[in-house]
Structure 1
Amino acid sequence: MTPTAPKKKTQEKTEPEISWLEADKEYGLGVLNGKLVARNPKGKKLAAVPKWLKETELADQLLALCDWLAEHEAECRHRVEIWMLRSLPVPREAIEKIWFDPGWSEALQNMVVTPVDAKGKPNPEQTGLLRDIVSNKGIGVVDRDGETQWLKAAQVLIPHPILIDGLEDLREIAVDMEFSQSVNQLFRTVFAATEEQQDLKQIMDFRGGRFDQLNFATSLCKRLGYPVRGGYACNRIWEDEVPLEARYWVGDDYPEAETTTSELIFVDDDQVPRQISTVGPVTFSEGMLMASQIYAKRKVEKEEGDAA
C-alpha cells in the first residue's frame, strides 16, 4: 500500500519577541534575526535605526553582538556540513546539549539523520528528517512514510545525499511540509560514476570551459570555497577515514591570460591519481560538483541568431 503523503500545514508566521534595551531619549534598541532594530518612545518598532541612535555606545555593543552571532551561525553550518561530507557519526548526547543554541538548532533542523548502532552500523529503516530533540525521548524525526519516530541510538549519522536510501521520498515530504535546510543536503546535486567512468583515472566531462582571464576562474574558485594550487581547483574529502583530493584543472598561466579547463582527477597523499573505481561515492560526487560549478560559469559564445 502506498503511504499517503502528509498534508501541508499552514503556519502563521509570527515575529519573534524582541528583548528591548533602554537607549538614549527613551528609545529602545534590540536584535532581531541578527540585525539591529529600534523602537520609538511610544513603543513602535521603526523601519530603520536612526543614524544618531546607531552611533551610540549601546548600538556599537549590539552591532558587535550581531557580528558574533553571524560568525557563530556560519561556524555551526560549516561544522554540520563537515559532518555530512564525512558522514561522521555524532553522539546523540552531544546533539542534545547543543540543541538549545539557535545557531546549532537552525543548522541541524530538517537535516536527514540515520541512527547508528553500537557496532557503528547505520539503520537506514529509521532514517528521517530531524525535527526536534527532547532529552527524555531522543531525536524526533519524520521518516519516509511521513510518520514521527524518536531515535534513542547512542550515535546518529548525517549522511551525504548520495548515501541516503529513499532520498526522493524525503525530498517530497520536505517540500510538502515546507521544511527548509540551512545546510544543503536534500537537494544537493549528486553524481554517481558510470560504468564507463569506473576504469578511468581522469574525468573529461568538464573540459573546454573557457575564461577570458585566469583571474576570473581563480576568483570564482575562491568564492565557491575551492583553493587553487598548481593550476588546479582543489577539494580535499575524507571518506571512510581515507583522504583524497579532487583536482580540476583551471590553468597556471599569468593571471590576465585566457585559460581553458581540462581534466578532473582524484589524487592520494602520494600525489598519485586514483582509478575512479577506487574513489568513494561521496568523494566522486563532491569532485564532480566542484568541476560542474566552475564549468557552469565558463564563457559561452552567443550563436548567430540568438536574441541580444
Structure 2
Amino acid sequence: MGWLAAGDTYEVALVEGRVVARSASGPSPAEQARTLPEEIRDRPEVQELQRFAEWLERHAAECAAQVDTWMVSSLPVPSGLLARLWPDEAWRSALRDIVVVGDGPDETGFLRDADDSGELRVVTLDGETVRLTPRTVTMPHPVLLPDLEELRTFAAELGVTQGVEQIHRATWHKPAGSDGPARSVREFAGAEYRSWFHLSSRITSLGYKVSGNSAVDRILDGGRVVTASVGMSDPYAEEKAWTGSLSWSEEDGYRSLPLTEVGPVAWSEGMRMAAALHAGRTVTEDGAA
C-alpha cells in the first residue's frame, strides 16, 4: 500500500497493520514517525486507514478461526475453495503449512500453494514437493495423525511456523482403562480462582463459552457433535471459584456420555480445555497454586 497525503506536511500509510506517518518533505522515504502526530490524528485519511487496519485484523482472525474449525473437525474442504482463498494474504497465512491429507494416507504433507486449477503443492515427510489434485482434502486434528511426532520433527527442520495451531497443538489420548461406567474425569478439577468472574474471563479469553455453571466446548468428532463441559462452583455461594470435573454429553446436553463413548477428538479437546483452565488458576506469592 502506498503513502497518502494527510495535509500538506505528512503522508500516512498502513505498515505491518499499523498506521504510521512520515514527513512529506523528508530527505528519505524510509524516515517515518513511530507514532502519529497529534495534529493529523483526526484527519479523514488517518481515520479511514485505522478503520481499514481494524477490518484487516478482524478478517485475519476470522480466517484463522475458520481454518481452526476445519482442522478440529477434520472436515473435507474442496481443493477448488482453497485455490480461490489462497490469493488473500489472511487466508494464505492461516492455511500455509497446515498438514493436509488428499485421497490417501500417502498424499499427506505441508500445504505450500494452491493454484487456480485446484492443484495443491505440498511438502511430504520425504522432503519432496509434490502436486496433488484431490477433489477435497482434510486438515486432520493432530490426535488423528499417525505420523505426528515425525511431522513435528520435520517441521522443526524446515522451520515451519503454522498460522493455525495443528501439529504442536496439545493432545491427549484416552487411557486404555476407560472402559467402565465412569462419565467424568477429575484430573484437572479443583483449580482455584480469585472469583467466579476471573474464572469466566479465563474461559472466554480461551475461546470457550460459559453455559450455566460450566465451561463448554462443542466439538464435531467423527460426524457427531459432542459438548465437553468443565464444572464451575456456584458464583452466589462462594467468594472464590473452583473448576470441577470434566464430562461429555450429546449435542443437546441431555445425555451424558460414558467415557467409552467419547471419541478421540472430543477427548483430546475436552482435556485441552480442562488443562488450560487449570493452568490459569490463582498462584500465591510463594508460587503455590
State the TM-score, normalizing by the size of structure 2: 0.91
Residue of structure 2 equivalent to 1:201: 183
Structure 2 counterpart of 1:265, one-letter code:
S
Q: Tell me the distance in 2 between the aligned counterparts of 1:300 and 1:209.
A: 10
Residues 2-81 of structure 1 mapped to structure 2, 5 A cutoff: 18-40=1-23, 41-42=25-26, 43-46=29-32, 47-81=34-68
Residue of structure 1 equivalent to 2:218: 236
Paired-residue identity, %: 32
Residue of structure 2 equivalent to 1:248: 230
Residue of structure 2 equivalent to 1:130: 111
Give yes or no for contact 1:91–1:154 (8 Å, CA) kept in 2.
yes
Q: Tell me the distance in 2 between the aligned counterparts of 1:76 and 1:191.
A: 26
Structure 1 window deviating more from structure 2 (160-169 vs 69-78): it is 160-169
Q: Could you say what secondary structure the match of 2:225 adopts?
A: strand
Distance change (3 Å), C-alpha of 1:253 and 1:60: closer
Give yes or no for contact 1:144–1:166 (8 Å, CA) kept in 2.
no
Q: Could you say what secondary structure the match of 2:143 adopts?
A: helix
Distance change (3 Å), C-alpha of 1:136 and 1:93: closer
Q: Tell me the distance in 2 between the aligned counterparts of 1:52 and 1:124.
A: 60
Distance change (3 Å), C-alpha of 1:25 and 1:302: closer
Structure 1 counterpart of 2:4, one-letter code:
L
Residues 89-238 of structure 1 mapped to structure 2, 5 A cutoff: 89-116=76-103, 123-136=104-117, 138-199=119-180, 200-238=182-220
Q: Tell me the distance in 2 between the aligned counterparts of 1:70 and 1:147.
A: 34
Q: 2:71 aligns with which of 68, 78, 84?
A: 84
Give yes or no for contact 1:213–1:255 (8 Å, CA) kept in 2.
no
Q: Tell me the distance in 1 between the aligned counterparts of 2:138 and 2:237.
A: 42
Structure 2: gaps spanning 5 or more residues = none
* Residue 137 of structure 1, CA deviation: 7.4
Matched, 1:273 2:256: yes
Structure 1: gaps spanning 5 or more residues = 1-17, 117-122
Give yes or no for contact 1:30–1:62 (8 Å, CA) kept in 2.
yes
Note the alpha carbon deviations across 1:223-261, whole angstroms, 9 max, x for none: 112212221110011122211100011212328622322
Q: Could you say what secondary structure the match of 1:197 adopts?
A: coil
Q: Tell me the distance in 2 between the aligned counterparts of 1:45 and 1:159.
A: 46
CA RMSD of aligned residues (A): 2.0
Give yes or no for contact 2:191–2:243 (8 Å, CA) kept in 1.
yes
Structure 1 window deviating more from structure 2 (26-35 vs 100-109): it is 26-35
Matched, 1:264 2:246: yes
Structure 1 window deviating more from structure 2 (226-235 vs 21-30): it is 21-30
Give yes or no for contact 2:11–2:22 (8 Å, CA) kept in 1.
yes
Q: Tell me the distance in 2 between the aligned counterparts of 1:73 and 1:162.
A: 26
Distance change (3 Å), C-alpha of 1:300 and 1:68: closer
Structure 1 window deviating more from structure 2 (191-200 vs 154-163): it is 191-200
The number of aligned residues is 282
Structure 1 window deviating more from structure 2 (232-241 vs 212-221): it is 212-221
Distance change (3 Å), C-alpha of 1:53 and 1:267: same
Note the alpha carbon deviations across 1:157-201, whole angstroms, 9 max, x for none: 011111112112221222222221121111000001001224331
